[in-house]
Amino acid sequence: MASLWSPGIFLAHVLALLLKALPPVILAETNVYIVYMGDKLHDEPELVRESHHELLADIVGSKEAAKESILYSYKHGFSGFAAVLTKSQEKLIADFPGVVGVVRNRIISSHTTRSWDFLQVPQLVDRISTGHSGAGAIIGVMDTGIWPESKSFRDEGMAEVPSRWRGICQEGEGFNRSHCNRKIIGARWYIKGYEAEFGKLNASDGDEFLSPRDAGGHGTHTSSTATGGLVENASFMGLARGLARGGAPSAWLAVYKVCWATGGCAEADVLAAFDDAIFDGVDVLSVSLGSAPPLATYVEDAVAIGSFYAVAKGISVVCSAGNSGPYPQTITNTAPWVVTVAASTIDRAFPTIITLGNNQTIVGQALYTGKNGDTFHPIVYGEEIVADDSDEDSARSCDSGSLNATLARGKVILCFESRSQRSNTIARRTVLDVKGVGLIFAQSPTKDVTLSLDIPCIQVDFAIGTYLLTYMESSRNPVVKFSFTKTVVGQQISPEVAFFSSRGPSSISATVLKPDIAAPGVNILASWSPASSPAIIDNEARPLDFKIESGTSMSCPHISGVVALLKAAHPKWSPAAIKSALITTASIEDEYGQKTVAEGAPHKQADPFDYGGGHVDPDRAMHPGLVFDMDTSDYIRFLCALGYNNSAISLMTRTRTRCKKSTTFLVNLNLPSITIPELKQNLTVSRTVTNVGPITSIYVARVLAPAGTRVTVEPSVLSFDSTRKKIKFKVTFCSMLRIQGRYSFGNLFLEDGFHVVRIPLIVRTVIDDFYAQI
């Protein structure tokens, strides 16, 4: 973030004149920069836009040049603009009064049914009177667009578009106003930031649409997961057949296409979508995208900036956690004002039988419905058919170019996961390149099944992979055949945290527990774009209307749907209150009452850095009893405690702010969890709870302390009545360790005999001057 304690505007004018006097031939190349100016000075959008033109005109020489340079003026929810600038111009404008910071336009990426039955979210017809269908809520989805013809977006039974809605149905290639209806009530698309980085997008080849229409499928999938209507007999090529529906099927949908099937989402476009969504009047924003660590600061990250102002307007923002697990500190979208969602499994499996030449059978998992089901094929180990210019280690995992094409042709190839190749994506492509007819990929156990539309790809664990090797070594002509994949429900222990789901703690604000919550994100069936890569079945291309996908991109819209249900049932609850209800009522046990497991190498008992508060429980979240509430002033004090200066904070809110230099507020932020990354001896933190249950209630505190700590609560009994709706209490942590410790976990329970409000406790003991002692 650029410092605001800078030379005055007079010096900036002088430097700008000198810059304009340079010969054009030596001017530096241009890039897109986002100029963030905090809260708006004016309520009138055109006045805000005009102020951007005037500011930039001082740099580029004229208002005409400024208008040509600016891609977007952010003027509804906050103030700022994205513009094409040279590096010298960027440095000049960063020193202007009124500018919080200037950052380069980055390209971020998306984080890529039975799941709602698994969550026990009832169908619309069963619970329509209690708001469990999301009626009255508007969900905005930022993604790759929408396929409006999908059955999930029919508007039968939908209410009329609400009068409060101010959005538009933006036309474009293959998309006009008729594609919006009482379900899809708004659609916009953003490409200026993307094209500024990659050049004009050529949509003539059919790989994209210059419109809200979805060419990749990802946005259609996430939108239908959050708010799709009921579709009978939905399946992926016969698999996972059943009733498909979104979490809030009666909620309205607003589409913001910020990501492109050709790859990536520009932050300048993402900020423009946030700005419009705030103006349009959405209630929930579902954002299945982000960037991997190192993380930008909260005043340099587009999602953090846009969501800050959205939440300030009462909009709940739900974000994906990222797909870089199971490694620690890989979590993204870590701002305390957003809901960050991890991915978990459901109880649906896709077993696939492999028959060996000796009539023995083994079971893997796949999504295999194609040909070759009754035919035996020779099987060979990748290490035994290494290409001349490769090596055995690479061939063992079927790295690119590692296999001998002559020896691999017409065979099933057995490959093993390596440290550098965790999934079968590269191996599958390698086998396809050498004309192999199938892949068996031995890997660490996971329930995430990789889709292969061209050749059979069967996933097995290392034990089965080793068993196959033994068979191959003992047989003169080893052969295998595959049976078609089956769909099995209710025979797989779930939920478990997905292997790929990014883990905490946060690498930018360790006192904020991330992720917040876990939701289904593995093998999720939802609507798809037929324009995306078709399935090749028996040499025939078949477009897909539904597809199975995995990722925190899939878990994010599950929570967006649940948030819409909560918004519909409790319209006066703040985004913080809704987030609190999700976290304090979440489950940390599987269907059989055992502690939830996190997939990994090896699997382990899950902890808050895997799933936050736990696995979402929508019904319990409807009636949390108590909530931990916050507003913008709390987030401002949080930013102050992180060290942002007074001027930057004042610009963000357009109110004079004097930050206190105490960092204790970081642990006292009124979150529904307590995370202490450095407990040296004793520490007391405070929290305030608001009663949203019966007016007269008495809650008693119960503690399961993190290992190595003693925890006390004062007062230990919280009594609410008609005059006492909020109560502040203190939690004191005392370290009983005299060694440098790792993180340990516990829980604080507040119970009234009906509600159980569970607050995760996360503590890491450290020793004063530890490093000075070694």
Q: Tell me which residues are annotated as active site.
A: 143, 218, 553
Specify the pairing of strand 348-349 against strand 488-489: antiparallel
Give the position of tokens 């005392």: 734
> What does the alpha-carbon distance between residue 329 and residue 743 come to, in Å, rounded to a whole number?
13
User: What does residue 564 show for φ and ψ, rounded to 5 degrees?
Assistant: -60, -40
3-class state of residue 316 by DSSP: strand
Tokens linked to 700: 């008693």
556 within 8 A of 342, measured Cβ to Cβ: no
Q: Before 672, cis peptide (omega within 30)?
A: no
Q: What residue type is assigned to position 696 of the chain?
A: T
User: What does residue 473 show for φ and ψ, rounded to 5 degrees?
Assistant: -70, -25
Tokens linked to 425: 């994506």
Do you know the residue count of the chain?
774
Residue of 748, 751, 759 whose CA lies nearest to 586: 759
Consecutive H or E run containing 5: none
Tokens linked to 143: 């993604």
Please, which residues bridge with residue 361 across strands?
355
Please, which residues bridge with residue 415 across strands?
441
277 within 8 A of 285, measured Cβ to Cβ: yes
83 within 8 A of 279, measured Cβ to Cβ: no
Please provide the DSSP assignment of 667-728 as one string. Answer: HHS--SSEEEEEE-SEEEEEEEEEE-S-SSEEEEEEEEPPTTEEEEEESSEEEEBTTB-EEE
209 within 8 A of 130, measured Cβ to Cβ: no
Letter string b/e over residues 756-771, b meaning 16 or more CB atoms within 10 A of that residue's CB = bbbbbbbbbbbbeeee
